[in-house]
Structure 1
Amino acid sequence: METSSNESVAKVLENACKSFPERLAMIYLGKSFSYAKLGELIDRFAAGLNSLGVDKGDKVIVYLPNTPQFVIAFYAIMVIGAVPVPISPIYTPNEVGYMSKDCEARAIVCLKTNFGYVKEISHQMPLKGIIYTDLVEMIPWWKKAIGFAFDKVPRGRIRKDENVYSFSDLLKYPASSKTVNADTWKDICRVLYTGGTTGLPKGAPSCHAHLYYGAMEVAECARGTAIAEGKSTIVLTLPLFHALCQAVFSGFVLALGNTAVIMPQPQVDAILECIQRNKADLFLGVPALYRMILDSDRLDQYDLSSLKYCWSGGDILPDEVFNRWNERFGIPLHQLYGSTEGELQCATPLSKRPKLRSVGVFSKAGKKNYKLVDPDTLQAVAEGSTGELLVSAPYFLNCYLNKPEETAASFVNLDGEVYYRTKDMLMMKEGELYFVDRSADVIKHKGYRVSASEIEAVLQDHPTVVAACAVGVPDPKIGERIKAFVVLKEDARGVSARDLTKWCRESLAPYKVPQYIEFRDMLPRSKVGKLLRRDMRDEERRKMDKA
């Protein structure tokens, strides 16, 4: 299939498959896929989706971990003008059901192990198809046999009903020559869910140009470096449902004709062996993973001399990890900083050594405008002063699905231009940006952005809880741990922190469940009754400073 516009990652994919068909596009569990093969699989899957009645504008949930099937499904959905909605494979049925209804999903691609979750919520919307797969569907039969023999492959039960298909069923369709017309600055081509301030995740839609320029910003980071187009290999451990990882795959891999090694799970020894075996020269990970690698007692057993550059994303890089990595390998950690709504916003250029605590310079390849402002007055701050980062672009859709209040709170019109409010506080000094602080509404746990209000809403649904507050407690290994403060009803008896933790596990993905729960008689509120999360977070920070 072909797309009619150049400002889309579908066109980037099409050009890559035509320009370097024999080059390796990706490697997964030792299985290699050339650009020609990847293009063929994507076109076949796209034709298969069309056969189910999935058409332009239809939303398709991609409920998968890092696998070739994720890549194939993600781009195939866009190729036919439909809209991929990537979500975490560890989401609960409640979360999947809410997002599917909110975006009006028409199909879901999932693992066999999550098939039961999908069937549980499938009656809530008119699905045209449920497509199932597993972690080893795309690798040789003998590797599958070994995996199953040693019980290394998670199994799941499938109930073959109407509109239930295997991934391989859709790959049997011949590729189509159909051309899809798209308005790249207006048509939605992806929806990502991010933490909301009202207790429910909010769907952030993006147009084709948004993803295209995000990819070009990543490609620009590699210009003027030792990384050679078509000869570099990157190991991807960040989840593919994450905006940053998608931008890196489209920009560094597809746009430059390089190779991605996709890791299904971020296990330290597997990552180190993968870097050594594939002679990877670029690595992308979160700060917590870099710390785990540095702390590994088997680190000396691996040859990582092929690495030239390392990208850190998903969270702010601690000074200790930055310094230890540089001392251990002589390779600095470069930061990629962005958001779901704004894509990549700034980065430390690979062509020069990054400064401690710097998140780099504003990206220039994405036609974006930036402001650092006082969060209360929205007036610009002077250089050297801390301000909230605002970002705008002519192709931003500037809204959330079905969330007018969230939209109004997150997007602001200044001088006739709509800006996204990141709620992150940064400082400009000598031409570089430095991260200072983030809103108390967002907790960064193991690289995930967790909405404090979503946790609070689940706790407050418990019949004995009258109020709740969730905050991030600094942790040098994983960024922040989640702590919840809870006020119980006066007549509540026998309710423990363990009971509330169990309650949270029923509705929240594992990484959102609080590690600590503390009971309080009351929570601080403003004069108008607004919960003062920042006061609770600052209280915890003061405790840690004293300790």
Structure 2
Amino acid sequence: MPGIGEPPLQPCRTVPGLLTWRRARNPADVAIEVAGVDTLTFEQWDRDAAALASALRSRGVTAGAAVGLVFAGRDWTSFAVAYCGVQRAGAVAVPLPDQLPPARLSQLLAACGADLVISGRAEVDALVAAGTPDPADDARSGAIAQILFTSGTSGRPKAVAATHANLTDGVPAHPKRLALAHSRRFLHAFPIGTNAAQTMLINALTARPSALTLPRFTPRRFAQRLPEVGTVFLVPATAIELLDSGALDGLDLSGVNLVGSTAAPLPPSVALRLSRVFPSAAIVNHYTSTEAAPAHTNMIFDPARPDAVGRVTTGAVRITDADGGPLPDGEIGHVWLRSPHARRYLGDDDATRDTFQDGWVRMGDLGRLLGGHLYLSDRDSDVVKSGAYKISTLEVEAALHEHPAVAAAAVVGVPHPVLGARLAAAIVPRPDAGEVGLPGIRAFLAERLADHQLPGDLLVLDQLPRNDAGKVLKRQLVKLFPAGTGGGA
């Protein structure tokens, strides 16, 4: 039983309600710190969010109205205030990357019906100053709380709507059950507007440690903060950049207990390198999507099962054929995750019916279940159909990452007059690598892959085209191959 005057021990059903609960429990604790810039305590966060909500109400913002939130990484604390303030007013927060071209930003705002945009610290400070710490909270559990746009790696970005019930599913009901209790701080550098960043914002409300982030990711700045944290969150692209930078040399990283990777499958060779650099840490692969969150699978990297992305709990994952019929253990099919209080696409009923079905979410991936573990084969849209073969680009990319001269790699299909398509690879060499050519790459892969999995074309790039979440934009990558690529046998 809670003591007199203590907050009740029950799950919070809205994000602002969760913030108020944390303020009552931990008012002076730092919730979010932007390294070298600013800190935000739970008391400040809740108080300023209430004032901002009051200011929005006075300006005529009504329940259900979408409000764009465009913030740079250095303004994470102001973003957090705006995010909860908008929701407290009963409106819908729409986080967006700050580096979008103006035309693209206008297009996304129009797609979700956002007429109002809050951008940057100065605007948040002005709204907070204009409001009052009004105790009113208009957030409702079943109401839409957030709209995020998908990464757009396989098509035009879609607006994904999530309710408060979705965002707060599984939050702790007791202060002794706060997550990541082994850490004093957790570190990340995810750009605002990505699903990974929104997970970190919820973590700031549900975890025992405070969130530490950077104004902008650079390997050296990120590495400098590692000795003071117990938990680290990365995406594969930043993990590779960090490992290859030399910034970790000489650091005592024994205090890091957990390294979580998200947004894309972590190549096994990269996971092995992380486990050597962080000797005390569990390397955890986290699998979800903007549509499926908070549903996910995760597992500690297991060298005996290097390609597995998650241990499966009963009823959490299923594999089906194209018509939705269940497939037996070991057969490759469409991956679905079960999601409580499922999300939906905004303004696209057909896509919603195709992706969200009776609490299940189609991930857009092909994979298989084997021995209680989930293995991915590829994105449905990335499988290369070459002659009689369907080729997993993930499998070829994993082998490329084992090459000592390869820092990053991506594989796509390019047109071929006979086969329909054949494999083409793009790599980023490590700084100390010598000359890397297609014959050497094919010879290396020939010891690991079948003949039909060997790329017929190679691009050597300074960097791969990626979105804000660190995912490779394969449609853009295909265009980088010269005209006529794939014309050979």
- TM-score per shorter chain, which class? 0.7 to 0.9
Identity across aligned pairs (percent)? Answer: 20
**In structure 2, how many angstroms separate the alpha carbons of the residues matched to 1:190 and 1:202?**
13
Q: Is 1:314 equivalent to 2:263 in the alignment?
A: yes
**Given that residues 189 and 208 in structure 1 are in contact (C-alpha distance below 8 angstroms), is that contact kept between their aligned partners in structure 2?**
yes
Q: Aligned letter for 1:395?
A: H
1:197 Cα deviation after fit: 9.5
Q: Secondary structure at the match of 2:169?
A: helix
Query: What are the equivalent positions in structure 2 for 1:170-249 lying under 5 Å apart?
Result: 170-172=127-129, 173-180=131-138, 182=140, 184-185=141-142, 187-195=143-151, 200-213=156-169, 227-228=180-181, 232-249=184-201
Deviations 1:300-355 (A, max 9, x none): 24332321111001110011111111123223420111011110433335699995
Q: Which residue of 2 aligns with 1:371?
A: 318
1:234 Cα deviation after fit: 0.4
Q: Which residue of 1 aligns with 2:387?
A: none
**In structure 1, how many angstroms separate the alpha carbons of the residues matched to 2:195 and 2:373?**
23
Q: Is 1:422 equivalent to 2:380 in the alignment?
A: no
Q: Which residue of 1 aligns with 2:58?
A: 51
1:99 to 108, 123, 126: 108
1:196 Cα deviation after fit: 6.0
TM-score under structure 2 length normalisation: 0.73
Q: Is 1:303 equivalent to 2:233 in the alignment?
A: no
Q: Aligned letter for 1:256?
A: A
**In structure 1, how many angstroms separate the alpha carbons of the residues matched to 2:103 and 2:184?**
41
Q: Which residue of 2 aligns with 1:25?
A: 31
Q: Which residue of 2 aligns with 1:119?
A: none
Query: What are the equivalent positions in structure 2 for 1:229-378 lying under 5 Å apart?
Result: 232-250=184-202, 252-276=203-227, 279-330=228-279, 331-349=281-299, 355-362=305-312, 369-374=316-321, 376-378=322-324
**Given that residues 221 and 350 in structure 1 are in contact (C-alpha distance below 8 angstroms), is that contact kept between their aligned partners in structure 2?**
no
After alignment, is 471-480 or 24-33 more displaced?
Answer: 471-480
Q: Secondary structure at the match of 2:168?
A: helix
After alignment, is 384-393 or 257-266 more displaced?
Answer: 384-393
**In structure 2, how many angstroms separate the alpha carbons of the residues matched to 1:222 and 1:33?**
19
1:15 Cα deviation after fit: 0.6
Q: Aligned letter for 1:233?
A: R
Q: Secondary structure at the match of 1:178?
A: coil
Q: Aligned letter for 2:181?
A: A
Q: Secondary structure at the match of 1:407?
A: helix
Number of aligned residue pairs: give it: 407
TM-score under structure 1 length normalisation: 0.65
After alignment, is 477-486 or 200-209 more displaced?
Answer: 477-486
Structure 1 residues 421, 509: closer, same or farther in 2, change over 3 A?
Answer: closer
Query: What are the equivalent positions in structure 2 for 1:57-68 lying under 5 Å apart?
Result: 57-66=64-73, 67-68=76-77
Q: Secondary structure at the match of 1:240?
A: coil
Structure 1 residues 304, 79: closer, same or farther in 2, change over 3 A?
Answer: same
Q: Aligned letter for 1:92?
A: P
1:289 Cα deviation after fit: 1.2
Q: Which residue of 2 aligns with 1:402?
A: 347
**In structure 1, how many angstroms separate the alpha carbons of the residues matched to 2:295 and 2:270?**
22
Deviations 1:80-117 (A, max 9, x none): 1110111222211222111111111021122xxxxxxx
Q: Aligned letter for 2:77?
A: P
Structure 1 residues 198, 370: closer, same or farther in 2, change over 3 A?
Answer: closer
**In structure 1, how many angstroms separate the alpha carbons of the residues matched to 2:99 and 2:206?**
30
1:167 to 85, 101, 124: 124
1:433 to 364, 374, 377: 374
**In structure 2, how many angstroms separate the alpha carbons of the residues matched to 1:518 and 1:235?**
37
**In structure 2, how many angstroms separate the alpha carbons of the residues matched to 1:326 and 1:509?**
23
Structure 1 residues 85, 442: closer, same or farther in 2, change over 3 A?
Answer: farther
Give unmatched runs, 5+ long, in structure 2.
1-6, 385-392, 402-406, 417-464
**In structure 2, how many angstroms separate the alpha carbons of the residues matched to 1:317 and 1:509?**
14
Structure 1 residues 357, 90: closer, same or farther in 2, change over 3 A?
Answer: same
Q: Aligned letter for 1:87?
A: L
Q: Secondary structure at the match of 2:117?
A: strand
1:7 to 7, 13, 26: 13
1:169 Cα deviation after fit: 0.9
Higher relative contact order (CA 8 A, sep 6+): 1
Q: Aligned letter for 2:333?
A: G
Q: Aligned letter for 2:320?
A: V
Query: What are the equivalent positions in structure 2 for 1:477-488 lying under 5 Å apart?
Result: 477-478=407-408, 480=410
Q: Is 1:517 equivalent to 2:474 in the alignment?
A: no
Q: Aligned letter for 1:480?
A: A
Deviations 1:120-169 (A, max 9, x none): xxxxxxxxxxxx44xxx6xxxxxxxxxxxxxxxxxxxxxxxxxxxx3321
1:214 Cα deviation after fit: 6.4
Structure 1 residues 387, 107: closer, same or farther in 2, change over 3 A?
Answer: same
Q: Which residue of 1 aligns with 2:96?
A: 87
Give unmatched runs, 5+ long, in structure 1.
111-131, 138-165, 444-470, 487-504, 522-535
1:284 Cα deviation after fit: 0.3
**In structure 1, how many angstroms separate the alpha carbons of the residues matched to 2:168 and 2:258?**
23
Q: Which residue of 2 aligns with 1:121?
A: none
After alignment, is 59-68 or 433-442 more displaced?
Answer: 433-442
Q: Aligned letter for 1:381?
A: L
Q: Which residue of 2 aligns with 1:36?
A: 43
**In structure 2, how many angstroms separate the alpha carbons of the residues matched to 1:220 and 1:335?**
25
